Amino acid sequence: MNEVCTLTGATPVSEADELELHKRYLKALGIVAGLLLEETSEQNLTEVLRLLTETTCVNRSALFLNKHDEGIAVSAKLHCTWSSAEAVSSLAEFSEFREIQYIDYPLLSDTLHVGMVFSKNLSELPQEEAALFARHQIHTVLCIPLLVQGETEGFIGLFCHKTRSWQPVEINVLCAVANSLALALARKRAEINLEVTTGRLKALVGATEDMVIEFDHKNHILNTWIDSRTFSLALDADLAGKTLSQALPPEMAKAIQRATPRVLSSSQRETFEFTLRINDEDRFFLGRLQMLPSESGQSRNIVALIRDITELMQEEAQRLSMLETLNLLEEAILDLSLEGKLLNFSAAWSKLLDTPADETGQYIGKLLLDYVIEDDRPTLQSVIQELVSGKKHANIVRFRLIHNKDEPVWIEANLLAHRSPQGIITALRGVLRDITTSYLQEKRITQLALHDALTQLPNRILLEDHLHQAIARAQRSNSKVAMGFIDLDHFKHINDTLGHKAGDTVLVTLSKRLQAVLRGIDTLSRWGGDEFVVLLPDANNEGDIRRIAERLREAARESIDLDGVETKLTISIGFAVYPDDANSAETLMSVADHTMFHAKSVGRNNVQFFQDIHNKSLDKENVLLQTRLSRAIHEKTLQVFYQPIFDAGTGQVVSLEALARWHDEQNGWIGPDIFIPMAEHLGIIHELGEQIFDHTLERLKGWRESNLPVQASVNISRAQLFAPAFVEKLKQKVAQYGLTPQDLVLEITESVALLDLSYESRRLNELHDAGFTIAIDDFGTGYSALSQLHSMPVDILKIDTSFTSRLDTEDGRRIVQAIVQMADALSLKMIVEGVENAETAHYLQTLGVTHMQGNYFSEALPAGLCQMVLEASPSLF
């Protein structure tokens, strides 16, 4: 074959040789065309290069395809190559040509990219390019561009180790080969792109579970993409070539055909809906038609995108049903932006504001704070900020909402943060409830429970709360707290001579006068009867305390007109100071109370300070009394009396209360209100409690042996309740007497219950779990216990005597009635203490109270007399 090649400097070929050359090139062109029509595989492309190498008598041929950067050809990458058998360089030696950077070969680049053939001998190349080809012994280079629609997509490179020239017939045939190869590669790329596009379309359709149908203007189906189980159940697998009426269910075909003319006439999108019955279930579909150019670009086809919207419609129906339900609720549901602006709300929102439903659109985009009373806005804003910042997920807040006509509406709002699936807080949601009625009732109950009904002053429960807070502040700031017990002198005489109405007038007038003397931070409380207590926090100056005390005494001395009778009042006051005179709240109250009694004992109408009498007779008497109490407890000479608790309807004894009694050798009977606090102060309350338990358990055992198995109540102090291992020791003691925890009722006063509710609840739970019955004694004087009662393991409530004594007043009856109703609601047993007459017992029975305790039925009795009462009530046992 070499003899027919035209080499530079060689004699021109003859006509016969040129004809032979022409035949050989055309033959090669035919073979190449056949290969490219068959397949543009790597194997066929390499075969094309082999034919070119042999036909053109070159040493190597190569196919380069362009690489683009932002649409510009920047390099040509070697796609495949063929080397003749006599070539010296191997593929490895051709590595420098694996990717040709056009910027390094400007002459080659400029020639090819204008669609021209690049034909150069070594001597004709620029120095740098010539050096590169010389390293590979290449002396002649022929590069023919691959043109697709006028754009160069690469080139065929022919490399010869000898210098040669090219005949026109060779160039023409090689250009024809390049054109065929360019078209074949373009077709291959189009097929790949089509395959990718088709795959993406199938993937998209599959991901959405939609159905896509392409059909022409004569309703013949051209292509379908179906990847939905719902459509697969309703349609055949192969729809192409059929008409819409032949391939599709009638309802579906008719819906598409009705919308098709509008699409063809307007070229606009059209939507349609239809329903199919599939597997005994109605399925709802939404479709959209759109014009689509055909492959020829002449006629216009139509594509239909069809989606199963059954679940969406069901969800929308559920949403509408939920919205209807929300609109029926009295609570308003709000959606708020992170700035607190109204995004959406239920119908109840307009009711809260008393706004017509058709005018609520004005609220969208407005701040919720704009409709809140100004004083309440900081509280609500703080809650919103906590939710938005993620400090809290939900919060409950109360505020007043501006009402268009009436007074502001009290709202309780439960707000929560709404998070996206990524956990980002995107909005707030609130449930708003009108609590105006319940709030006012609650406020009224709080007032009744924490304040004296007659004077409206804080009662002893609220006083004790203020006292504990004042002492806590004093401990933190190293300050002092003063407390004064005040007793109205000769009040009984006023009641007996002028009547209880006049007595009430005196108490109300006195409370106002005393209150007028005090500072804003001070507390004046009615302790009970004719006694008041004044609490002075931050009382660091002794002179100020004495001046306030004297002003209190002077204020009381002003005359008062009682039905035309001018009456002079006097009071006796006893003051004590924390921590100078006492180291706890209980001790401070006890010391101030005793100091007040000393003030009365030295002539009334005076003020006494504990520190002034610390070394005088009162203190000495107390020391002697404490000594005798310690001896009595040590020698176990205190007695235990038992007061029966009766069923007022049947007259039967239902249980007993064990009460400690002390007969002092010098002063006679000493009340428990004196020696119980004294025992606590001396730290011997545990020994006293042990004796009461031992005596009671021994009596219960004896009565049980006498076939009188009655239950007994025993009072326990706070010190006992929180003593280490108290529950276990008590269980062991009960077992020692052959009894069970069910035989005992453990009474704890409400004031003790309020000291440490969480800790006490845990201890009471232990006792309750052990089988002991738990009773709250003196109940009714503390609202806090009422609000926390549901969290305490309580079985019995005992209404405080102070409330029973006020049943002759309307306020007193309302309070007792409210407590009885509350106990019934919580399924708690009720015992009313201090029943002193038949009228009280009868009234309590009308409220549904059956168990009562008081001197009307029986006073506290020694054990022997109590047994006689038990024996007289045999039907119970």
User: Residue 344 belongs to a domain with what CATH number?
Assistant: 3.30.450.20
770 confidence band (pLDDT: 50, 70, 90): very high
Q: Where does the pLDDT of residue 204 fall: very low under 50, low under 70, confident under 90, or very high at 90 and above?
A: low
Q: Residue 779 pLDDT > 50, yes or no?
A: yes
Six token digits for residue 717: 């102090």
* Domain shared by 102 and 18, yes or no: yes
Please tell me whether residues 455 and 582 are part of one structural domain. Answer: yes
Number of domains in the chain: 5
The verdict on 39 and 82 lying in the same domain is yes
Q: Is residue 284 part of a domain?
A: yes
Residue 589 CA to residue 749 CA, distance in Å, equals 16
Starting from the edge strand earliest in sequence, which strands make up the sheet with 221-226, in order? 221-226, 211-215, 300-308, 281-293, 270-278
Q: Which residue has the higher pLDDT, 182 or 673?
A: 182
Residues 704 and 773 in one domain: yes
Q: Are 657 and 651 in contact (CB under 8 A)?
A: no
Helix (H, G, I), strand (E, B) or coil at 533: strand
Regarding whether 241 and 93 lie in a shared domain, the answer is no
Distance CA 146, CA 323 (A): 67
- Give which of 200, 192, 242 is closest to 219, Cα–Cα: 242
Same domain, 654 and 762: yes
pTM: 0.38
The 3-state DSSP class for residue 651 equals coil
Q: CA angle, 532 as apex, 528 and 537 as ends, to 5°? A: 130
pLDDT at 10 over 50: no
pLDDT at 759 exceeding the cut of 70: no
pLDDT at residue 634, as a whole number:
83
Strand bridging mode 531-536 / 481-488: antiparallel
Instruction: Taking each helix axis as running N to C, give the angle between helix 726-736 and helix 685-705, from 0 to 180 degrees, rounded to the nearest 10.
Output: 30
Tell me the C-alpha distance between 7 and 21, whole Å: 14
Give the max Cα distance, the chain: 162
List the beta bridge partners of residue 661.
639
Q: Average pLDDT, stretch 245-266?
A: 88
Q: With 90 as the cut, is the pLDDT of residue 804 above it?
A: no
Q: Is the pLDDT of residue 93 over 70?
A: no
Higher pLDDT, 779 or 297: 779
Tell me: do 39 and 132 sit in the same domain. yes
Closest CA to 385 of 423, 334, 429, 339: 339
Q: Do residues 586 and 456 share a domain?
A: yes
* Per-residue model confidence as pLDDT tens digits over 716-756: 987 788 777 889 999 999 999 999 999 999 998 765 655 44
Stretch 641-653: mean pLDDT, rounded? Answer: 92
Chain centroid, CA 52 distance in Å: 78
* 94 or 580, which is more confident: 580
678/667 Cα distance (integer angstroms):
15
Q: Are residues 598 and 715 in the same domain?
A: no
In the listed set 162, 192, 222, which residue is the last one of a domain according to the structure? 192
Residues 564-581, mean pLDDT to the nearest whole number: 88
Is 815 within 8 Å of 780 (Cβ atoms)? yes
Percent of the chain residues topping a pLDDT of 90: 29
My answer on whether 112 and 90 are in the same domain is yes
Examine residue 579 and say whether the peptide bond preceding it is cis (omega within 30 degrees of 0).
Answer: yes
Give yes or no for residue 3 having a pLDDT over 50: no
**What phi and psi values does residue 370 have, to the nearest 5 degrees?**
-65, -20
- From 450, 455, 516, 527, select the one nearest 484 (Cα to Cα): 527
Phi, psi dihedral angles at 57 (to 5 degrees): 60, 30
> Please, which pLDDT band fits residue 311 given cuts at 50, 70 and 90?
confident
| Domain limit, last residue, from 161, 192, 223 | 192
> Does residue 660 register a pLDDT over 60?
yes
In this structure, are strands 281-293 and 425-434 parallel, antiparallel, or unpaired?
A: unpaired
Q: Is the pLDDT of residue 217 over 90?
A: no
Which pLDDT belongs to residue 7? 36
Question: In terms of residue numbers, what domain contains 52?
Answer: 2-192
Contact 36, 180 (CB under 8 A): yes
Q: What is the pLDDT of residue 322?
A: 64
Instruction: Give the C-alpha separation, 715 to 673, whole Å.
Output: 13
pLDDT at residue 55, rounded to an integer: 83
Q: What is the CATH number of the domain that holds 474?
A: 3.30.70.270
Q: Which amino acid is at 106?
A: P
Tokens of 791: 């969290």
Give a yes or no: residue 441 inside a domain.
no
List Cβ neighbours of 425 (8 Å cut-off, separation of 6 or more).
338, 387, 388, 390, 417, 418, 419
CATH of the domain at 794: 3.20.20.450
3-class SS at 450? helix
Question: Which tokens in the block code for residue 618?
Answer: 């009162």
Residue 675 domain flag: no
On whether both 564 and 646 belong to a single domain, the answer is: no
- pLDDT interval class at 89 (50, 70, 90): very low
- Same domain? For 187 and 218 the reply is no
In a domain, 726, yes or no: yes
Last-in-domain residue among 285, 313, 341:
313
Alpha carbon 394 to chain centroid, angstroms? 4
Number of neighbouring beta carbons within 10 Å of residue 7? 14
Q: Which two tokens stand for residue 223?
A: 């292509």
The answer to whether residue 632 sits within a structural domain is no
pLDDT of residue 785: 47
The answer to whether residue 200 sits within a structural domain is no
Q: Which two tokens stand for residue 417?
A: 């943060």
Confidence of residue 865 (pLDDT cuts 50, 70, 90): very high
Q: What per-residue confidence (pLDDT) applies to 265? A: 83
- Going from the C-alpha of 28 to that of each of 24, 140, 164, 635, 703, the distances in angstroms are 6, 21, 20, 135, 130
